[in-house]
A and B are shown apart, each in its own frame.
Chain A
Amino acid sequence: MKWIPQEVETYLSAKEYVDTALVPLYFVSTGAEMKQSAEAAEFITLLSSHLERQFTGRIVLFPPFTYLINDDSEKVLDDLKNWENTILKAEFKHIFYLTSDINWRTKEDKVSGSIIWVPSIPLEQMNDSQKLKMIDSQAKQLLALFTNKWNEKR
């Protein structure tokens, strides 16, 4: 379910079926890395919305958690933990974070949700059908991560 009023309403009426939160992580930077950060954001946006399409009935796609790349990483981590606690309190059992910032790889065990790191692919040179194929094949590989996690506690 997307973060729009109609779908949030569906979520509220079908809470017992929707137990997974998907939070995209965006890093923001200016200057030389600005373009890279925009590319990553585009990629993560497309990928997360594609995943949401596959698993509409079990996932709520949250608005992205956005942070400055120059920020103190401990502070960013604390902020994310704060999000995590709030989401867990709201009856979500699983949390997935989708990011292309490599710094999160070292912090995988510091949060209870699963961090999915995917290297960002610049999409600007591709036409729409190439983009779709690209995102589709990426998403396919990630689908198993979700179903495996769900099956663990089945």
Chain B
Amino acid sequence: MSKERVSRRQFLSYTLTGVGGFMAAGMLMPMVRFAVDPVLKADAGGDFIATPQKVADITEEPIRVDFSYKQKDAWYESEVTETAWVYRDEAGKIVALSPVCKHLGCTVNFGGDKEHPDQFFCPCHYGRYTKDGTNVPGTPPLAPLDVYPYKEKDGFLYLGKAEPRKEA
């Protein structure tokens, strides 16, 4: 016990500071939490979905890979099926392209046009993309096809969320 007596004035100011501090903290904590929330949030693009495609079976010829996952739309949960065109490029790297046409969202097919069997073809407005997904100038699409990030796990291909490519 110290010899100095705590005066009434000091006691009151200590308690007020303490209580005020708690109240301020109570207000500030949620604010800080909200401010940093986007940082703490798990990356939505980090969800990889399993596909039935074996990695070893991927060749240089693009193949169609269908995969599905559950999507919640308001209160209705539905099964969504997505498709990817998967192949290996010259360097042996796996490329997974989204089949959604960048023009108005039709589904493109590889080799869908007889005159251009090594290109992706959109039947709606005759848009074309080269094998690496680059849009052919002079056809309606203005951007290259989106690319899926991928992972290999237990020999199977896992795909993330399709991302638009930076370069045009």
Contacts and interface: CB of A to CB of B under 8 A. Distances in A.
Interface of A: 10, 14, 17-18, 53-58, 128-129, 132, 143, 146-147
Contact of A128 (B79, B105, B123): B79
Contacts of A57: 101, 103-106, 122, 124-125
A139 to B, nearest CB: 10
B45 to A, nearest CB: 22
Nearest to B123: A147
Contacts of B124: 17, 55-58
17 contacts: A17-B103, A17-B124, A17-B125, A17-B140, A55-B123, A55-B124, A56-B104, A56-B107, A57-B103, A57-B105, A57-B122, A57-B124, A58-B106, A58-B124, A128-B79, A132-B66, A146-B123
B15 interface: no
Contacts of B68: 128-129, 132
Given A58-B125, A128-B68, A128-B79, A18 B104 contact: yes
A14 B104 contact: yes
B10 interface: no
B104 A58 contact: yes
Contacts of B122: 57
A54 B107 contact: yes
Interface in B63-114: 66, 68, 79, 81, 100-101, 103-107
Interface of B: 66, 68, 79, 81, 100-101, 103-107, 122-125, 140
A136 B143 CA distance: 27
Contacts of A128: 68, 79
A15 to B, nearest CB: 11
Interface centre among B100, B101, B123, B124, by most A CB within 10 Å?
B124
B117 to A, nearest CB: 17
Nearest to B101: A57
Most buried by A among B81, B100, B101, B104: B104
B125 A53 contact: no
Contacts of A147: 123
B104 A143 contact: no
B66 A54 contact: no
A132 B79 CA distance: 11
A129 B68 CA distance: 9
Max chain B C-beta neighbours (<10 A), residue from A10, A55, A57, A146: A57
A11 to B, nearest CB: 9
A56 B123 contact: no
Nearest to A144: B123
Nearest to A7: B105
Contact of B123 (A14, A53, A143): A143
A53 B106 CA distance: 7
Given A57-B105, A132-B81, 17 more contacts: A14-B104, A17-B125, A17-B140, A18-B104, A54-B123, A55-B124, A56-B101, A56-B107, A57-B103, A57-B104, A57-B106, A57-B122, A58-B106, A58-B124, A58-B125, A132-B68, A143-B123
